[in-house]
Amino acid sequence: MEERKLNEKESLELIAQMIQNSKKNLQVGRGNQFILWGWIGAITSLAVMCMQMWTNNPMWNWLWFAIPVIGWPMMMWQMKKEEKPVVTFTDKVLRSVWLSIGGIGMTGLTLMAIYAKNMMLMLPGACILMAIGTFITGAVLNDRKTKTSAFSTLFVIMMASCHIAFTKEEFIWYHIVFALGFIGILVVPGYHLNKEAKKHVQGA
């Protein structure tokens, strides 16, 4: 039997329903993952800064690897205890985007920084990748505030980074800038997505 083709109105309604389903799923756990990774990144950035100030030892930059070491087990534990939602096509798209960013993108940046023997090179690239991932999430979910938070924060970070680099300010300020970057790009959108998804569930 030949499948019936959807007309324009039905197609738009299907897309809208997929977006709403994904927003509901974010309430179940996806928004919390933004918050988790954002706070781990911000705290790690400040920890590296403090240890370098106290010891004047650049070896403390290896502490950046605490982000995946702590983040992955905590995310797995978080996902296990949460309700398992129905996985939609948009969920699969977002999962692929973030796996690409977290796996391929961050691995490439880390190897580049290690090869150059300068872990600070990793920070601007990491913020760009995170902002792209958050912007795509906002675009897929049709959420303007998520997109705005990602790229407005990235713009401020890039401007601050250029100022620090060209005025030869203390590089220790980088850590404060990027701690704020983790918060603006991941934490703030995470809380916002949870809030919006909660409204969706209550209004359902």
Domain membership flag for residue 3: no
Number of domains the chain contains? 1
At which residue do the structure tokens 């401007």 appear? 159
Cα gap 5→180, rounded to integer Å:
48
Domain membership flag for residue 5: no
H or E stretch covering 37: helix 31-55
Domain membership flag for residue 15: no
Provide CB contacts within 8 A for 93, sequence distance 6+: 140
Domain membership flag for residue 118: yes
Domain membership flag for residue 174: yes
Cα gap 102→24, rounded to integer Å:
23
Tokens of 156: 């401020």
Length of the chain: 204
Domain membership flag for residue 180: yes
List the pLDDT tens digit at each of the 204 positions of the chain.
344 555 566 666 666 666 666 655 555 556 888 999 999 999 999 999 999 888 888 788 888 888 888 988 888 887 777 666 666 677 778 888 888 887 788 788 778 877 777 777 777 888 888 999 999 988 888 888 999 999 899 898 888 877 766 766 566 677 888 899 999 999 999 998 888 877 765 555
Q: Cα angle at 76 between 71 and 80, to 5 degrees?
A: 145
Provide CB contacts within 8 A for 68, sequence distance 6+: 106
For residue 194, how far is the Cα from the chain centroid? 14
Which domain covers residue 151, as residue numbers?
A: 21-76+91-203
